[in-house]
């Protein structure tokens, strides 16, 4: 069943047809006019009440349809999650940074929702997977301690705005043992620093780095920090690259954001899949509500090397690979079909599927003509036959439950 899906025009989205979201929307619905001055940030596919998908042919919301058609969910998913599609599939197109943030564990999400229901609107966790469609930049996880120590030594402006005792403790620490014991106090000191001091430090630091040679500027992340500062002047999040890994993903590479892992998407386009939740704890690079005490207390302060953060798929067959995170809520399959028709695997889960390239048809009972941007819902325990148009290929992403 083909779906009509919700576009979110958040301020940080890419403008007009620079956005993959807008390109897919325009391709699937040529009658829709794309505004070149408007941000097209996210395309939501699923049943989340903030952006529910509609079954075009029936004129009913997918969330209502599954209540009356339990076979669409299947017994395995119904046992685990009830009558629900427990994941949300998205396309993101990012022009400027999203907030420095993390997502709480399930038990913590329930507690936050109970205590602050206006701020944390549901009790679910929000692990998420991001698969790059274009070159994609993100901050993710804390850096190896030696790298953080190096930046604090080379950037006296940064070290001087932090608690001296905490900085000395971190600089004297060796990699053995729990780096979180020395990293958490320093990060707390950063995030709670007086806003005027942060703003002044950023101006002084960027002014000095502006006069350095290019190799020094690159090694001290000047181009990145300068760009963040242009979008969020004086924001403490502009200094977070000195503590968090700066990742540059190529198309097809992915990161899995487990609970409590600090991260911030910076630019690019991606496929994102997550548990059906909107629980975010923010602390910088955002005009939205920030909750520094909760974030600082909950974070995973482990140090990660870049290769530890890349999340690789498993090959299923010549046409498909699957990213299976260590959560039951979702997995994502990428399928590419060239030439002959291809039948998807029969899965015990409902599927949300978006075509990202190529034209042709997909068929469960009745064929649907597809092109980039077409979104379909497939019931549990059903196969989809994918047939590219002559001389074409079809590329698609299929979100499923990981049960």
pLDDT digits (tens, 9 = 90+) for 102-121: 887 777 767 766 777 766 66
Query: Does the structural domain 144-243 have CATH classification 1.10.441.10?
Result: yes
Using only C-alpha atoms, the chain has a radius of gyration, in whole angstroms, of: 22
How far is the C-alpha of 380 from the C-alpha of 347, rounded, in Å?
Answer: 6
How far is the C-alpha of 123 from the C-alpha of 172, rounded, in Å?
Answer: 40
Give the active site residue among 282, 336, 347, 371: 282
Q: Is 282 among the residues known to form the active site?
A: yes
How far is the C-alpha of 292 from the C-alpha of 184, rounded, in Å?
Answer: 13
CB 142 within 8 A of CB 245: yes
Looking at residue 288, its pLDDT comes to: 76
Percent over 90 (pLDDT), the chain: 82
Q: pLDDT digits over 73-96, tens only?
A: 999 999 999 999 999 999 999 999
Hey, where are the domains in the chain? 7-54+85-139+249-297, 144-243
Domain 7-54+85-139+249-297 fold: Jelly Rolls (2.60.120)
**Interval 140-155 mean pLDDT:** 96
Average pLDDT in the chain: 93
Side-chain half-sphere CA neighbours of 186 within 13 A: 30
Is the pLDDT assigned to residue 390 strictly greater than 60? Answer: yes
- Asked whether this chain's domains 7-54+85-139+249-297 and 144-243 adopt the same fold, the reply is no
How far is the C-alpha of 394 from the C-alpha of 318, rounded, in Å?
Answer: 14
**Interval 231-247 mean pLDDT:** 96
Looking at residue 115, its pLDDT comes to: 74
Is the pLDDT assigned to residue 124 strictly greater than 80? Answer: no
Count of residues making up the chain: 403
Who has greater pLDDT, 172 or 276?
Answer: 172
Looking at residue 293, its pLDDT comes to: 85
Who has greater pLDDT, 23 or 260?
Answer: 23
Looking at residue 116, its pLDDT comes to: 73
- pTM value is 0.94
**Interval 310-326 mean pLDDT:** 97
């Amino acid at each position: 069943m083909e779906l009509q899906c919700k576009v979110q025009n958040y301020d940080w989205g890419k403008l007009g047809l620079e956005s993959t979201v807008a390109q897919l929307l325009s391709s699937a619905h040529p009658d829709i006019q794309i505004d070149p001055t408007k941000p097209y940030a996210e395309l939501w596919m699923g049943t989340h009440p903030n952006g529910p998908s509609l079954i075009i042919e029936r004129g009913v919301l997918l969330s209502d349809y599954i209540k009356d058609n339990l076979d669409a969910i299947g017994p395995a998913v119904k046992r685990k999650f009830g009558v629900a599609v427990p994941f949300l599939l998205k396309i993101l197109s990012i022009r400027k940074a999203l907030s420095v943030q993390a997502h709480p564990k399930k038990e913590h999400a329930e507690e936050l929702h109970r205590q602050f229901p206006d701020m944390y609107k549901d009790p679910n966790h929000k692990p998420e997977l991001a698969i790059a469609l274009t070159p994609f930049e993100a901050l993710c996880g804390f850096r190896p301690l030696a790298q953080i120590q190096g930046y604090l030594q080379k950037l006296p402006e940064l070290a001087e705005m932090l608690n001296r005792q905490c900085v000395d403790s971190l600089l004297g620490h060796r990699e053995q043992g729990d780096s979180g014991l020395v990293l958490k106090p320093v990060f707390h000191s950063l995030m709670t620093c007086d806003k005027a001091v942060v703003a002044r430090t950023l101006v002084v630091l960027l002014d000095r780095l502006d006069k350095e040679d290019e190799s020094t500027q690159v090694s001290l992340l000047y181009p990145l920090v300068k760009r963040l500062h242009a979008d969020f002047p004086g924001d403490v999040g502009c200094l977070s690259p000195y503590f968090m890994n700066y990742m540059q993903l190529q198309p097809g590479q992915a990161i899995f954001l487990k609970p409590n892992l600090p991260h911030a998407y910076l630019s690019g386009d991606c496929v994102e899949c997550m548990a059906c939740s909107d629980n975010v704890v923010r602390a910088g690079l955002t005009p939205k509500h920030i909750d520094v005490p909760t974030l600082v207390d909950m974070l995973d302060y482990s140090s990660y090397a870049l290769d530890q953060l890349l999340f690789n798929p498993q090959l299923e067959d010549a046409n498909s690979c699957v990213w299976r995170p260590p959560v039951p809520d979702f997995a994502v399959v990428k399928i590419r079909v060239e030439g002959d028709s291809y039948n998807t695997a029969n899965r015990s889960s409902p599927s949300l599927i978006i075509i990202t390239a190529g034209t042709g048809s997909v068929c469960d009972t009745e064929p649907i003509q597809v092109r980039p941007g077409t979104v379909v819902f497939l019931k549990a325990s059903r196969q989809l036959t994918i047939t590219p148009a002559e001389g074409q290929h079809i590329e698609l992403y299929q979100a499923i439950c990981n049960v």
